[in-house]
Structure 1
Amino acid sequence: MVSSIHVWGDSIGKGVVFDESRGRYAISGQRWATQIEQQLGICVHNHARMGAVIRDGLKELERSTDLTGAVAVIEFGGNDCDLPWAAVAAEPEQEHPAKVPVEIFRQLLGQFIGQVRARGARPLLVTPPPLDAPRYFAWVTRQLNAQAVAAYLGDIQHIYRWQERYAIAVRDVALQLNCELFDLRDAFLAERDVASYLCLDGIHPNERGQSLIARAVLEQDRRYFKAGLEPRLKTRPGIVWDQA
């Protein structure tokens, strides 16, 4: 039986949305974790924070010594892949590495899984949801030289493809280390109008997106979380479990 759910991640794991009426980011009153708690009666310990990269999550994990019986959700990639946009705009002819290069990101994911297992929990990797490239581009360049940033990217959709590499990395590491995977990205891509589930910034799930996340978990894994049954291998989008 699952005793609790612990979440390490970024603002998406935290349930942050952009509140257009107030012009700032805020934690959604109906964030996905709250909906899971209400529906399944399982306590969600949320260690995620806005702006976090996987290194931050590893530091936070050090505070938790015993996670026996828990599911440890590991949700990173959105900030790790981020580029220094001001530097890009200033020097588009130069190369600009991501906050966490993708190969290092893979290595740190492996470390995270190992440390979670050593603490008695079952790690669950989560792929980052897709972003809306035109909307996100407009957001990050709103106070920058958008033409220079566009020249660096080659085409605006490169932002989408760049982020997608981190989702692929999450899937690869899950397969290599026989780790359970929640393919959140695929759950979003299954929707016809993905943009309607995202905030004005083109990257954070909005209130509809929060419900989509919760629904993806509830529809496919209610039996596992609530009854403590052994998970079955799934071939449809959502949480994918290993056969062991």
Structure 2
Amino acid sequence: MTVSLKFDFGIGSAPASPYVQVLPSTLYDDVTGYGFESNDRVSSRNRDESDRLHGAFCIPLEAVFTVDLPNGLYTITATIGDAIAPTSTTLKYGVGRIVLNKAATSAGQYMVHSFTVKVTDGRVRLAFSGIAPRINALQIDEAKQATTIYLAGDSTVTDQDTFPYAGWGQMLPLYFKTEIAIDNHAKSGRSSRSFINEGRLAAILEQIKPSDYLWIQFGHNDQKQDAERATDPFGSYKEMLTVYVEEARARGARPVLITPMHRRKFDAQGLIIDTHGDYLLGMKELAAELNVPLIDLAAKSKALYEKWGDEPSKSLFMWAYPGEFIHFPEGAQDDTHFQELGGIAIAGLVAESVRELQLSPLSLYLKGI
């Protein structure tokens, strides 16, 4: 049976057929399988427009709307707008994967945003925020033809669960149309070796389909000296990366190698100091030897940081003053990991590379951001 769900948000008249009405008081429970996880900051208005899907809406201020779904791929379409007021809505799913970033409408304007998600735990959680968020309607449909990009990597890629920490993989959905879903398997602290030895690559290979993608970024932790993670840049590092490439190809999937982005380390002339050295060369050699597309994120991140400059580029990274972010009361000084602004910027560099390399068909499915 094909899954197709339609939700009409807001108070007032009966919902538009065949939509299910969602009120601020509609709380999630296991019986209905949908609703707000909390309605402490959810309200609703109805502007009495002729089209109820435009006139009625909920204001989900820092609210999460959850829907139970069988595991699989789904395209979600959100209608957002207000007849008399400008709006600004940010929307994330799962563990902070962003699909809308301060999406704005003017008074009387309505926007329809669609994106594809991969559900792996029996439900999708949609987190709304922004200075004037709205949700008028949601439609959720199975997306049987979508292509999935599987991400294998470390903490710079992973879904970080503490705001404002962000991996670039977490921000990647912002750049792709509904034909593409992102499944981020990256994990903090992992190297090309430990990711395999912990069974994380195997978990991807159990799911990956022909024509899906496996994107591979390692290097930060391959430099570590412990036996669980350490690799040699021209030896075991290349050997481990070869496993990813060959196993993906054996299943008809398409591997892409991504050099690790630079750390924020400037010299006296304002240029980035390369802390990865031969690991960058090792990956580039392997990409040429195996004829694998290579996204040179090291080169692109170097250009980005140097364009911003030493002090301004701290805004991309997890630099914070004491008291600036609630989860980091003592502040932070981190030149490796990103906050959301940086994660979005790095994901943008990756998307830019897809377009420049003309990776087919991925380049056809990039949004015009």
TM-score by length of 1: 0.65
Q: Quick one: distance in 2 between partners of 1:81 and 1:97?
A: 11
How far 1:132 moved relative to its partner?
A: 2.6
Whichever structure has more strand as a proportion of its residues is 2
Name structure 1 gaps, 5 residues minimum. Answer: 21-25, 85-95, 136-159, 229-244
How far 1:121 moved relative to its partner?
A: 0.7
Structure 1 match to 2:32: none
Secondary structure of 1:52's aligned partner: coil
In the alignment, is residue 116 of structure 1 matched against residue 248 of structure 2?
Answer: yes
Taking every aligned residue pair, what percent have the same amino acid on both sides?
Answer: 24
Structure 1 match to 2:341: 208
1:1-244 alignment, distance < 5 Å:
3-16=147-160, 26-27=165-166, 31-37=170-176, 39=177, 41-58=179-196, 59-63=199-203, 64-65=205-206, 66-83=208-225, 99-102=230-233, 103-133=235-265, 160-191=273-304, 192-193=307-308, 195=310, 196=313, 197-199=316-318, 200-221=333-354, 224-225=361-362, 227=364
Secondary structure of 1:129's aligned partner: coil
> CA 1:213/1:2 → structure 2, altered by over 3 Å: closer, same or farther?
farther
Whichever structure has more helix as a proportion of its residues is 1
State the structure with bigger RCO (CA 8 A, min sep 6), 1 or 2: 1
Question: Which has the larger displacement, 184-193 or 97-106?
Answer: 97-106
Name structure 2 gaps, 5 residues minimum. Answer: 1-144, 268-272, 319-332
How far 1:17 moved relative to its partner?
A: 8.7
> CA 1:28/1:76 → structure 2, altered by over 3 Å: closer, same or farther?
closer
Q: Quick one: distance in 2 between partners of 1:122 and 1:205?
A: 27
How far 1:227 moved relative to its partner?
A: 3.2
Is the 1:17–1:206 contact (alpha carbons within 8 Å) kept by the matching residues of 2? no
Q: Deviations over 1:170-208 (max 9, x none)?
A: 111111110011111111111213651333321123323
Q: Quick one: distance in 2 between partners of 1:61 and 1:30?
A: 16
Q: Rg: which structure is higher? A: 2
How far 1:80 moved relative to its partner?
A: 0.9
Is the 1:7–1:72 contact (alpha carbons within 8 Å) kept by the matching residues of 2? yes
Is the 2:262–2:302 contact (alpha carbons within 8 Å) kept by the matching residues of 1? yes
Count of aligned positions:
188
TM-score by length of 2: 0.44
